[in-house]
């Protein structure tokens, strides 16, 4: 399987890329982002492309891939709905449409989150925008899968780029064993989430919107 990873510098993207490199079924990985990941491996080729709203200039280099693991995203904190939608919805759909034009049979896995509002009518701004993005992707291709992790434990030195999240993870660190024991079907690590996404990319899934218990099962 040949895989494209968007957002490999974020916490989820770092974990996904690590699992790609560890999985012998992954032949090669193309990393695309606005900044370099710094990862050096024989499997990895990297493109730094500043304008992800328009990937047409690098279209020739995006051909021949089986799956896209789209881990790119931003926190909605402090953003207007219009700005958040521009980053979350507009960018994601621009990338997905171009990739699927080039690779019609490609699987497209979008990292969303628990609480996403599929009705697009709820009070939570981020949840509405994520819901609209999910719905548009599901309508775009039958091989789109929405990945909705909840709490993710960072592993192997991986950290979040968001200061608030780093603080929460640091406070929760002593509680991880208890949380994983109490809620085994809800808790994920960067390792298990990466494994789950690779499994879904290769084999598909019974559902197209995958909540934490579905991802825990897929990781197994």
- Look at residue 201 and tell me whether its pLDDT is greater than 80: yes
More confident residue, 155 or 166: 155
What domain range includes position 62?
A: 2-219
Q: Is the pLDDT of residue 42 over 90?
A: yes
pTM to 2 decimal places: 0.91
Contact 171, 135 (CB under 8 A): no
Residue in 21, 217, 4 with CA at minimum distance from that of residue 103 = 4
Domain with residue 168: its CATH number is: 3.40.50.720
Query: Which comes out higher in pLDDT, residue 150 or 194?
Result: 194
Name 178's bridge partners. none
Structural domain count of the chain: 1
**Measured between alpha carbons, how far is 30 from 99 in angstroms, rounded to an integer?**
13
């Amino acid at each position: 399987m040949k895989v494209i990873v968007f957002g490999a510098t974020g916490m989820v993207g770092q974990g996904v890329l690590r699992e790609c490199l560890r999985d012998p079924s992954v032949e090669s990985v193309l990393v695309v982002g606005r900044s370099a990941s710094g990862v050096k491996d024989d499997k990895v080729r990297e493109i730094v492309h500043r304008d992800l709203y328009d990937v047409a200039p690098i279209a020739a280099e995006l051909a021949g891939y089986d799956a896209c693991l789209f881990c790119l995203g931003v926190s909605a904190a402090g953003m207007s709905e219009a700005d958040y939608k521009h980053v979350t919805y507009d960018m994601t759909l621009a990338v997905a449409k171009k990739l699927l034009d080039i690779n019609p049979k490609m699987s497209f896995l979008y990292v969303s989150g628990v609480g996403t509002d599929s009705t697009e009518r709820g009070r939570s701004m981020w949840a509405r925008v994520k819901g609209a993005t999910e719905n548009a992707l599901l309508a775009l291709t039958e091989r789109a899968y929405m990945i909705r992790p909840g709490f993710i434990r960072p592993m192997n030195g991986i950290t979040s780029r968001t200061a608030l999240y780093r603080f929460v993870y640091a406070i929760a660190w002593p509680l991880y064993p208890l949380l994983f024991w109490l809620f085994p079907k809800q808790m994920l690590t960067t390792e298990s989430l990466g494994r789950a996404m690779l499994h879904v990319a290769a084999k598909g899934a019974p559902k197209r919107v995958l909540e934490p218990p579905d991802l825990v099962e897929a990781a197994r």
